[in-house]
Amino acid sequence: MTRYSLILGNKTYSSWSLRGWLLARQAGLDFAEVVIPLRRPETRAEILKHNPAGKVPTLVEDGQPIWDSLAIAETLAERFPEKGLWPADARARQVARSVTAEMHSGFAALRQALSMDLSKHVPGHAIGAEVQADIDRICDIWRDCRASFGGGGDFLFGDFGIADAFYAPVVTRFRTYDVKLDDVCEAYCTAVTAHPWMQDWAAAAAAEPRAPEFD
């Protein structure tokens, strides 16, 4: 029997961990969680016990680490093709991979200015031009995917998949900072927020002790 564990950071703050956790849930894994508090003197040493990059998330499969959320996504899609992590349609799958990679490598201004923090609501937060450009691009992606591929459900490609897992932390940021959205993007954020896995993650985050190093 394959044994899995998932190495995560604080659920309140760790956007990359959320992606990996959602992917593991979609793949149907029975996994143990190891949560390592971030931004502490011992954090890097603790993570290095599980992977050589010293970052979260890491999926450990029978003692072998798979690090980086995109590597986890591709590995789980290979292991469990029946779970539909990528869309079945070839063109939709191309676009899903493209927008997932764009999220994985881009939007630096948004990441820096609107950090993930599920414990806060900060309406009226100042949004500079570079951050607004990132928001506009993300909304373009959401609208295009919903219009072209989303007819079968509430998510970017109909059913919840890898692309949604990668954009889920952005949804939490938009909620935290009260980002104003059009009807299509607002409906998408509502669907992601209401997903049972997101509800489970939010409940676990709410139960975490406060981490003053993030304030």
pLDDT tens per residue, range 79-138 = 999 999 999 999 999 999 999 999 999 999 999 999 999 999 999 999 999 999 999 999
Beta bridge partners of 7: 34, 58
pLDDT tens per residue, range 9-55 = 999 999 999 999 999 999 999 999 999 999 999 999 999 999 999 99
State pTM to two decimals.
Answer: 0.96
**% of the chain beyond a pLDDT of 90:** 95
- Around Cβ 104, how many Cβ atoms within 10 Å? 15
* Distance, CA of 74 to CA of 79 (rounded, Å): 9
